[in-house]
Structure 1
Amino acid sequence: MKQFLTGKIKFYSKDKGYGFIYCKARSQDYYFNINNINNGDIPSANDIVIFNTINNSKGISAVDITITSKANSNKSLKEDSRVICNKCKRKIIPRIIFQNGRAMYSVCPFCGRTYKIFINFYISLFIIFLGILLLFIFFIKIFN
């Protein structure tokens, strides 16, 4: 049977996706990766967590991490700008992909699935229709 420990997020880097949990009972810091968070929440400093440990090549790391109490629990749900990915079911902030200086689509930072396409289909259809109409008018004037 796994023995879960209780700890507090000491540090977490959103850019690098890793951090450290301090366990007061063992007076020890444990390394963790964002992929080891169970419920898809983004950790922040002073969040209370329960976790298990595993011994790997880098030492003892925290795994099976569940955030039980957020440090900023007074935030309302409206302030949470994250959305749920349809594929991996995690809360995400989609990453926007640009092409030639224009936002083309956004993707999930965890699984890479396309979240939203920014090119409006109807606007594209209208532009194509307008181009065909102008070509038609041009050819009518040439052959008359």
Structure 2
Amino acid sequence: MSVDTDEIAVNGKVKWFSRDKGYGFIHDPKSGVDRYFAVSDVVGADLPRDGDVVTFLATVGEKGPRATKIRIASAPLRATFHDQRADRHERHGHYRDDRVTCPSCNRRMVPRLVTYQGEAQKSLCPFCGATYRRFNTLQTAITITVAVIILMLFFFSR
């Protein structure tokens, strides 16, 4: 892979990287050169992104300066997709927070729905498992209606 056997450990910054194409360039501050790297040169499961500070071995490949054995040293804090979407919606006045507060653990959450035979039974807090709300199902409504009719027949038959 490399023509030159001299390998020097260097810190640099990812100038550009395309996940689709599988390659990018790292700026080497010591030499002032941009070094080519491919996905196969990255050590670890995470791929670097533009602006990440990385450590790498500086080599000279067949086509010029190259970076190998790349490890991410530090990455700038990035907003998650949800944070970016929420910010965009807030700027345009469209933001809606669907979360509620759990009465048991007091955390903001989106309740998880529990169903039985296709009917909603209750919703639960995903953090502590406490019941947030019980739903009146059709079966419960029928049972209550039948009980009321029986009581009415009992009182009116006297």
Under a length normalisation based on structure 2, what TM-score does the superposition of the two structures give? 0.44
